[in-house]
Structure formats: structure tokens, C-alpha cells
Structure 1
Amino acid sequence: MSKFPILFFLIMFMIGTDTFLVSPLLPTLQAEFDVSTSSAGWMLSAYALGSAVFALIAGPLSDGWNRRVVLLCGLTAFSVCTFLCGFANGFWSMCLFRLLAGISAAFTAPQVWASIPSVMPPQRIAKTMGLAFSGLAASQAFGVPIGSWLASGGWSVPFWTIGCASLLLAGFAFFALPSMPPANAAAPGVGAILRRYVPLARSGRARAGFLAYLLIHLGSGAAFAFSGKWLAEDFGLTVGEIGTAVIFLGLGNLLGSAVSGSAAQKLGTARTVAVAMIGAAALYALLPRLAPVSAATAVYFAICTLLGIVFPLVMSALTSLNASLRGTISSLANATMNGANTLGAWLAGLMFVHLGGYAAIGVFAAVSLAASLATFLAGGLFRPSPAADRP
């Protein structure tokens, strides 16, 4: 059984690292391809766009196919597309390969969350979810320095390295994963895709769960989007110092994900989520009022640790809503997260400019988390599924 948590950790680490890979390379790629700063951003956006849009399609399709096959094909395509990024000879070819890598990731990452309940015993699902989230957190902490270090040998080297490593990982997955045929196979098509969302739309617990999931990412996304500007303006940190702070925050997320399952076993899932979210909301409200940068960073580390505890438990609860729709649920959660983070960043910009800086963002994040917790509890996401919600 131990091979599955390690496999899922490594898959999420590779996908997360690839997500952050272009950020440290952006100035180099901009000069290499001779494009403007505004255009260069599309080398980042292409990946996110492909991942977010195709997740809504990939999830329902995967629920009608063998989940092992979908994961293997997605991971193989992801490795090839990332490897090809290293051969891009212009701006548009790089955007194309990044778009294809994002689409491949949309077929891969949701299968991790959907596969965990299928291959792990019930008592180990929460811990394995936490370990998979630890892979994402580790990539957040180390993706930028890994990309920068590998790029010292040329901007293509990081893409070739991640591509080759992901291909080896696909080989490991080929031998490690069992067959996971669909519970209710359906011919893929527009009608089949839409029909897979109907049970979720009809379920009050699902509606409440996804609304709460949107709210928690709306608040945390808004706070994170302008954290760098806040650290620069209020504390005078340089870009390098801000990067170090981001690594530190990623380590907090990593710590929270690692202890998430154990905390839920001791306190219960609902109580663990409630305590962590109340604590994070209170710290968000306090955060902008802290003067020493060391205190501010320590409090933000604590926030990331608490949120790292929450996210695996929420994802585990969401995927338990309907066992035959785990791919759809995981993909919808991914799209919800990306949409909430995008909206949160836009709102944070308005608040930073018009409502007195980061203090307003801290209050907004606190209120969003409080509203999210109230929605989680009122919707009963962490209660055992009633018969109406089960497949």
C-alpha cells in the first residue's frame, strides 16, 4: 500500500513544479523570444488556461473510462508536452506547448484525487490526501528555486528535466496502479459530460460544498495575490527576500498537509476543519496590523499551516459525495479553485488601491473564510452521505 501515497505525492509534485517552472524563467524567455512584458505573461497564462478549461471536460470523460488508463495517458502526454517546451523556437510555439501541458495536467491531477479512495483503505484516505497535497505544497516551496537552479545550464534544461522525470514516473505508475474501471460507463459525448454534473447540481451537500470551497479560495487567493506587494511596500523587502518568504509559506502548507490526516483522526474531520479555519480567519484579520516583518511572516506561516490542514480534508469530503463521479468532482474542484483565485486576485487589486491597502484584504480573507466555514457546516459536507447523495 505504501507505494500509492509515494506515487501520488510525486505526481502532484511534478505537476506543481511544472506550474511554477516558467515564473523564474520569464525574463530569460522574454528576451529569448523578443516579446513585450504584457505578451510574455501568456507563457504563464496558457498553462493555467488549458488546465482550468479542460478540467471541466476531462473530469466527466474520465468517469466513463478506466481511471488508470486516463492517468497514464495524461501523465505521459504531460511529460512529452513539457519536454517539447525545451525545443520551443518562438513565443507562439512556447505558448502552444504550455497550453498542451496544461491540458494534459487537467487529465492527470484530478485522477490522483479520484483514485485515492479507490486504492486506499478508508482509514488511510485522509492521510493519503494530505500527502498528495504535500506534493503540491512542496512544489510551491521549491518549484521556483528548482527552476532557477536548473536554468543555470540553459533555459531548456528545466523543461527537459521535468519532462524526463515525469515520463519515468509514468512508467512507475504503469506497474504500480491497478485497473480502475468506471462504475457506470457511458459513451463520451456532450450529453454524457453534461449529465455527469446533474447529480451534483441536484445535491444540496454538493452545492454547499463547492460554494464553501470557492469562498475559502477566494479569501486565500486574494490574500496571497498581493502578499508580495504588501511585503515590498510595508517592509521594504527585495524581490529575493520576497521569494524566500514565499518558500517559507510553502513549507507551512507542506507541514499542514502532512499532519492533516492525523489531526482529523484525533479531533474528527468537522472539528479539525472548524478549528483550523477559525484560527486562519482570525490570523488573516491580524496579519496586516503586524509591524515586524518576522512576526508577519511567522503569522502567515501559521495561516498556511492551518489551510494546509483544511484542504486535504475538504477534498476528501468532496470526492466522497459520489463514488462514480470522483473525476468530475475533482476536476470541478480544480476549476473552482482557479476561478476563485483569479477573482480573488482581481478583487484584491481593487481593495489594495481603493480601500487602504492590505488591511482591507486581510479583513476580506477573514470574512471569506468565516463564510466558507458557515457554508460547510450548514451544508453538512462533513456528515456521512445520505442515501440520496450516494451513487
Structure 2
Amino acid sequence: MLKYSVLFFLIMFMIGTDTFLISPLLPTLQAQYDVSTSIAGWMIGAYTLGSALFALIAGPLSDGWNRRTVMISGLVAFSISTALCGFADSFETMLLFRFLAGVSAAFTAPQVWASIPAVMPAARIAKTMGIAFGGLAAAQALGVPIGSWLAASDWPVPFWTIGTASLLLAAVAFYLLPNMKPSRQNGQSTSILSRYTPLITNGKARGGFFAYLLLHLGSGTAVAFIGKWMADRFELSVGGIGNVMMCLGFGTLLGSIISSAIVRKLGITTAVTAGMLLIVALYAVGPHAAGIPMTTAIYFIIFTILGVIFPLVMGLLTALNASIRGTISSLANSTMNGANTLGAWLAGILYVQFGGYEAIGIFSAICIALSLGSFRIGGLLGSKEMQTGQQTKSAS
């Protein structure tokens, strides 16, 4: 069973690395394509837009297909589209290939979460879920900096490397994974809308997903131009930006590790509320920090808190309706990527038109504050806290 855990970890590591790769490369690619700062963020947004749009249908549709086939096909398409980014000779072709990579990721990532219960014993499902989530956190800690270091020799190298590695993973998945065909019930024709109806008609679900959108809009806007800001303000090279991003990524990884311990100590409502309030303050003051050490320390704390909060909020969302957790996960993924798409676009406008990164910090702080208010007013925090907190303890 270890082979499946390692495979799922590596798949999520590759997807996570590709997701965040553009941020530290943004100054280099902006110069490469000679585009303005206000539109450069679309090299991030194209990927998240593709993922956001197709995640809405990928999860519900794939419930009726062989998950092994979907995962392998998605990985192959992901590897090809990512490798093609390294050959993009114009801004427009880069946007196209990034969009296609996002579409491929939308079909691949949900299969990881859906396949774990199918191939793992019940006693190891929760642990394997944690390992797969750790792949995303590790990508932010190690994948992005490694990509930055590879780009120091030539900017296409990270795309070619990720593409090649993903193709090898597809081959490994072909030999390791069993067929995971849908049951007769899942194979029956069911409209996509009907799978979302329980969420659309639930006020708590609507409020929760709106709050989740604001949470990712704030964090996504902040991270989209953090590399550009550090290059402009501190004159950091791509490698230097990679070092900072590695430190911040370790913050996310640390947060995911200590998340269950925080819940046992404080409870979900207190942990999420206190964490988001602290993030609001740090986003507001972060752009004014003097020097790289202080700046890195502030954003390390932010990323650590986000690493604690994201799994907790995801647990609250999936607890809304246990019978459609796959659809909830797909909608959460679409919400996250939609927010990151909008954030990348807004970050460019704010950076150019409203005083640089300080405006981004204020906007992110406002989004997190509104998100917290929506979580509390909508009722997602509190009512199922004891149940979800107990599940978190059991999983840990």
C-alpha cells in the first residue's frame, strides 16, 4: 500500500509545483514576452481559469468513468501541455498552453482524492489523504524553488522537467493502479446540475463557499505578485525569489502538520477566527516591512496560518453533505482556482494603478476579513465544530 501513497504524493506534488511555478518566474517571463505588468498575471490566471472552469464538470462526470483511465489520461495531457509551455514563443501561446495544463489538472487531481478510498484499506484512508495533501504543501516548499533554480539556467527548463516527470508518473500509474470502474448506480446517467442541487439549495453551503472564495481571493492576490514585488523592491534574482518561496512553502507545510494539534488545543472556531484575524493584520503591515529577513518572517507566519486554516475549512465544507463529497471537492477546487484567476488579474491592476504591493496587501486583508465574517454569519463555523473537530482528532 506504500506504493499508492508515494504515487499519490508525487502526482499532487507535480500538480502543485506547476500551479505555483509562474509566480517566481513572472519577472523573467514578463521580460521574455515584453508585456506590461498589468497583464503579466494572466500567465498565472490562464492555468487557474482552465482548472476552475473544468473542475465544475470533471468531478461529477468522472464519477461514471474508470478512475484509473481518467487519472492516466489526465496526467499524459498535463505532461504534454506543461512541456509545451517551454516552447511557447509568444505571450498568447503561453496563455494557451497554461490554460490546457489547468484543464488537465482539473481532471487529474480529483481522481487522486476519489481513488484513495478505492485502493486503500479503511484504516489507512485518512493517513493517505494527509500524505496526498502533503504533496501540495511540499510543492510550495520545494517544487517552486527547485523550478526557480532550474530556470536560472534557462526559463523553459522547469516546464520541460515537470512535463517529463509527469509523463513518467503516468507510466507508473499505468502499471500500479487497478481498474476503478464505477458501480452500476454511479454509471447511470445523472445530470451534473442534480449533483450540485443539495449545495445550491443550502444556505449554509452557499455562505461557506462564498467565504471560501474570499479566503482564496485574498491569499491568491497576495501571492500572485509577491515575486514581482520582491524583484522590484529588493532586487532579488529568480534564484533569490526561489529561496524566499521555499521558506514560505515550508510555512504552509508546517501549518498542515500542526493543524490537528491546533484544533485539539483551541477548537476549530477559535483556531480559524484567531488565525484569520492575525492574517488580516499581517497582510496590512507586510508590504511595509524593512528588509528581506523581516518580510520573509511576516509572510512565513501568514503561510503557516494558511496551512492550518485550509484543511480545517475544507473539512467543514465536506461535512456539509457526506453523500456528495466528490462534488463538494470539485466545487471547492473550482472556487479556489476561480479566486486565484481573479486574484492574478486584480493583482496586476492594483500593482500598477494603486501604489504597488501596498494596495495588494490592503485588498487581501479586506478579503480575509470579509471571509471570516461570511463564515461566522453563514453558520459554517460553530454548528458542526464538535463533530468535525472529533473527525480531525481521529484522523490525526
User: Is TM (by shorter chain) over 0.5?
Assistant: yes
Q: How many angstroms does 1:13 deviate by?
A: 0.8
Distance change in 2, residues 1:261/1:131 (3 Å): farther
CA contact 1:210–1:336 (8 Å) conserved in 2: yes
Q: Say yes or no: does 1:55 pair with 2:55.
A: yes
353-362 or 296-305: which moved more? 353-362
Aligned to 2:391: none
CA contact 2:146–2:242 (8 Å) conserved in 1: no
342-351 or 71-80: which moved more? 342-351
Q: 1:238 aligns with which of 236, 239, 245?
A: 236
Aligned to 2:285: 286
Deviations 1:148-177 (A, max 9, x none): 555678776544543342233234445256
Aligned-residue sequence identity (percent) comes to 62
CA contact 2:23–2:223 (8 Å) conserved in 1: no
| Equivalent position SS for 1:181 | coil
Which ranges in structure 2 are unaligned for 5 or more consecutive residues?
389-396
Q: How many angstroms does 1:144 deviate by?
A: 4.2
In the alignment, residue 368 of structure 1 is paired with which amino acid? C
Deviations 1:52-110 (A, max 9, x none): 22222212212333444432332233234445666778887766554433222110112
192-201 or 108-117: which moved more? 108-117
Q: How many angstroms does 1:306 deviate by?
A: 0.6
Q: How many angstroms does 1:186 deviate by?
A: 5.2
165-174 or 290-299: which moved more? 165-174
Deviations 1:101-127 (A, max 9, x none): 322211011223444566667887666
**Mapped partners of 1:117, 1:272: distance in 2:** 29
CA contact 2:48–2:338 (8 Å) conserved in 1: no
**Mapped partners of 2:181, 2:328: distance in 1:** 17
Q: Say yes or no: does 1:321 pair with 2:325.
A: no
Aligned to 2:393: none
Distance change in 2, residues 1:257/1:123 (3 Å): farther
Q: Say yes or no: does 1:77 pair with 2:77.
A: yes
Which ranges in structure 1 are unaligned for 5 or more consecutive residues?
386-391
Distance change in 2, residues 1:271/1:238 (3 Å): same
Distance change in 2, residues 1:87/1:9 (3 Å): same
Deviations 1:278-331 (A, max 9, x none): 332332233244334422220110110110111122223323433443333222
Aligned to 1:251: 250
Q: How many angstroms does 1:210 deviate by?
A: 0.8
**Mapped partners of 2:119, 2:194: distance in 1:** 26
Aligned to 1:15: 15
Deviations 1:237-271 (A, max 9, x none): 33444443223222211221233344345544444
In the alignment, residue 101 of structure 2 is paired with which amino acid? A
CA contact 2:145–2:245 (8 Å) conserved in 1: no
Matched residue count:
380
Normalised to the residue count of structure 1, the TM-score between the two structures is 0.78
Q: CA RMSD in A?
A: 4.0
| Equivalent position SS for 1:37 | coil
Aligned to 1:388: none
**Mapped partners of 1:177, 1:270: distance in 2:** 40
Structure 2 counterparts to residues 60-139 of structure 1, below 5 A: 60-83=60-83, 97-116=97-116, 128-139=128-139
**Mapped partners of 1:184, 1:22: distance in 2:** 41
